[in-house]
Structure 1
Amino acid sequence: MKTAEQLPLSATVTYSAAVYAGDAVTSVCLGWVFAPSRRLGLRWLRAQAYRFADALDPYPPRTWWAPGPLLHQVDLPVPDAPTELRAWADDDECQDLALRTLAAGHRFDFIARDHTCWYGLTARPLVTHSLCPRPGALVTA
């Protein structure tokens, strides 16, 4: 895909962001949004990453509904999807990489796995062409 500077004046770029989950047999779309900018699309993905992580594994600093003594850490030698989702959402370098990937016109994917399931975050640019030029773009004969 071309960068925004290379697109014709009649082209508009929106961004599709979606979250999926599945196992070895199935895949389910858990939600999606169309965003006017790549930043807003990624902001939505970050919120979804936190939402999934907190639903799968309550995180004491953000779990107001469960008093501290109810929660304790369990060390198991298996992949931990909630930790991976939180780490991706908290890492500014990962966010910058995702922004650059989308700016270059490519699809961005992140997948976190645990011992039974996987959780995927994806965003991609969508280019649409309108029959009328953008406002402010004059066509002269």
Structure 2
Amino acid sequence: MTRGARRLLGSVRGSWCEATVAELDRSREWLLAGYHARGARHARRWFRWQTQRLAGLIDPDPDTPWLPELARVPVGSAGRSDAAAALRRWADDVHEHARLTRAASEGSLYVFTVTDDSLRYTLSHRPLHSVPCPSAVASVTSVPRA
């Protein structure tokens, strides 16, 4: 990113993390959770919590009292993808943690996506830029007069 572009965007003031679920054809998407992280450590902690929370909702413990008997279908059987297992693995995946930390330090986008038979679960991290002072924008965008 050029110095002029940085001045236009302003400085990074934390990041926005969100969890969404969408139909595979992307006809509908729902925001499940959002979080303003102050730094990479906070973003990583939120991601760890959200991956575990989503995994528990997708594939709850079989002894969960509210779970109807008919809903107790083994995940990952009969060619089904196991989105819950992929979400649970994120908590211990040091490679993914490093990718998130690198994206946070560079001020770039990080996306982690898993799918099952009908839905796409996405967790994302993007930098939040402060609003630049109008005079700074004018000095970058103005054309010098000859």
Common fold: TM-score over 0.5: yes
* Equivalent position of 1:56 in the other structure: 58
- 1:103 is displaced (CA, Å) by 1.2
* Equivalent position of 1:14 in the other structure: 14
Structure 1 segments (4+ residues) deviating >4 Å: 70-74
Larger radius of gyration: 2
Residues 105-114 or 120-129, more deviating: 120-129
Describe the shift of the 1:93–1:12 C-alpha distance in structure 2 as closer, same or farther (beyond 3 A): closer
Find the residue that maps to 1:19 and give its secondary structure: strand
* Equivalent position of 1:115 in the other structure: 117
Report the TM-score when normalising by structure 1. Answer: 0.72
Find the residue that maps to 2:51 and give its secondary structure: helix
- 1:122 is displaced (CA, Å) by 0.2
Asked if 2 retains the 8 angstrom alpha-carbon contact of 1:42 and 1:123, the reply is no
* Equivalent position of 1:36 in the other structure: 38
How many Å separate the matches in 2 of 1:34 and 1:72? 36
- 1:43 is displaced (CA, Å) by 1.2
- 1:42 is displaced (CA, Å) by 2.2
Bigger fraction of residues in helix? 2
Identity rate of aligned residues, in percent?
A: 26
Identify unmatched segments of 5+ residues in structure 1.
132-141
How many Å separate the matches in 2 of 1:57 and 1:111? 17
Report the RMSD for the aligned CA atoms in angstroms. 2.7
Aligned pairs, number: 120
Asked if 1 retains the 8 angstrom alpha-carbon contact of 2:39 and 2:104, the reply is no
